[in-house]
Homo-oligomer: A and B are copies of this chain.
Amino acid sequence: MKNVYIVGVGLIGGSIAKDIKHLNPDITLFGIDKNEAHLNQALDLGIIDNKATLNDIVNAHIVIVSIPVDASVNVLPQILDLVSDDTLVMESGSTKLDICKAVENHPKRRNFMATHPIAGTEFSGPSAAIQGLFKGKTNIICEVEKTAFKLQEMALAIFNIMGMRIRYMNPESHDKHIAYVSHLSHISSFMLGKTVMEKEKNERDIFDMAGSGFASTVRLAKSSPDMWTPIFKQNKTNIIETLDEYINNLERFKTCLETNAFEDVYKEMNDINHIKDILNGIE
């Protein structure tokens, strides 16, 4: 019987816990969270079997870390200090470079695997955890060669039963590309929400006019600032590049409108429509 420690019992950690428990009921799940209310909630919801603290991690067979990425950078070396030689430590944040750097010279680096399971919702906390969240989703593993072979096998077996497909990438590439396909979407959504709320702050009725299109586009503006501020901080160089390109594209589109270049507006939208084919299978 294995002891699995979930550090951070929120949306991601809680959903991983639910999958692991569902797929392997023999496992005992321990939860660690600096938010005591979340920890109690996770216990009440049956997401974890027991509450624990960081020092208990000496007893762990597997440790899964799903906390804000700035906290991971601090906590991962402490966790590696504590674990046994056979313990697998995985982390699932949305940035990879700073996290891999934080452990690169740790004597237990081979116990660690950097992952990014690409799944989630705009909600957070243990009540947002969903069994099956990761089924059919992509999991990006960085620097796989730096993880001990037996622990790689153990991790892949877990991802396999969770139904995830694996992609391998170095941390630099991960952070660069994820800025485009994830981090930029969050900023575009937050700023859309801000623009509309600023304009309409005295006219709440106006939101009666909002349809499902607006709701979809602004959905990510509900995301947790605790989770996202450190992501933006760690990946700021890549994100600034994406923002520059996004703003340039918006400026160019605005110029088309201002100069009545509606043939260009049409052509632009028609070209971008090809995203239909690219997105097939993501939703």
Q: Interface of A with B (CB < 8 Å)?
A: 118-122, 137-138, 140, 165, 167, 174, 177-178, 180-182, 184-200, 203-223, 225-226, 228-229, 232-233, 236, 239-240, 242-247, 249-251, 253-254, 257-258, 260, 262, 265-276, 278-279, 282-283
Q: Which of B174, B185, B206, B215 contacts A180 (CB 8 A)?
A: B206
In the assembly, what is the distance between CA of A275 and CA of B199, in Å?
A: 13
Contact residue among B118, B188, B236 (Cβ-Cβ distance under 8 Å from A257):
B236
Residue from A119, A182, A192, A265 having most chain B Cβ neighbours under 10 A: A192
CB distance from A17 to the nearest CB of B (A): 20
Q: Is the CB of A223 within 8 A of B269?
A: yes
Can you identify 15 A-B contacts, CB atoms within 8 angstroms? Answer: A121-B212, A167-B205, A181-B196, A185-B213, A188-B192, A193-B272, A197-B275, A197-B278, A207-B282, A210-B282, A225-B270, A232-B265, A236-B258, A240-B258, A247-B247
Choose from B195, B214, B239, B279 the contact partner of A210 (Cβ within 8 Å): B279
* Chain B: minimal CB distance from A201 (Å): 10
Q: Can you add 6 more A-B contacts, CB < 8 Å, to A188-B192, A210-B279, A217-B220?
A: A167-B209, A180-B199, A181-B211, A185-B217, A221-B272, A236-B258
Contact of A120 (CB < 8 Å), options: B140, B213, B260: B213
Main secondary structure on A side of the interface with B: helix
A209 touches B178 (CB 8 A): yes
Judging by beta carbons under 8 Å apart, are B187 and A250 in contact? yes
Copies in the complex: 2
Smallest Cβ distance from A121 to chain B, in angstroms?
Answer: 8
Least CB distance from A73 to B in Å reads 14
B residues within 8 A CB of A193? 272, 275
Query: How far, in whole Å, are A250 and B250 apart by their CA atoms in the complex?
Result: 10
* Identity of the chain B residue whose Cβ is nearest the Cβ of A189 in the assembled complex: B217
**Quick one: given A177-B206, A257-B232, are A250 and B247 in contact (CB under 8 Å)?**
yes
Contact A209-B250, Cβ < 8 Å, known A185-B217, A188-B192, A190-B272: no
Q: Are B215 and A282 within 8 A (Cβ)?
A: yes
Min Cβ gap A165→B in Å is: 8
A246–B253 Cα distance when bound, in Å, is 13
A179 — nearest CB in chain B belongs to which residue?
B199
By the criterion CB–CB under 8 Å, are B138 and A222 in contact?
Answer: no
Contact of A222 among B211, B249, B273 (CB under 8 A): B273
Residues of B within 8 A of A262 (CB): 229, 232-233
Which of A204, A211, A278 has the most chain B CB atoms inside 10 A of its CB? A211
Which of B214, B226, B239 touches A182 (beta carbons < 8 Å)?
B214
A213 touches B221 (CB 8 A): no
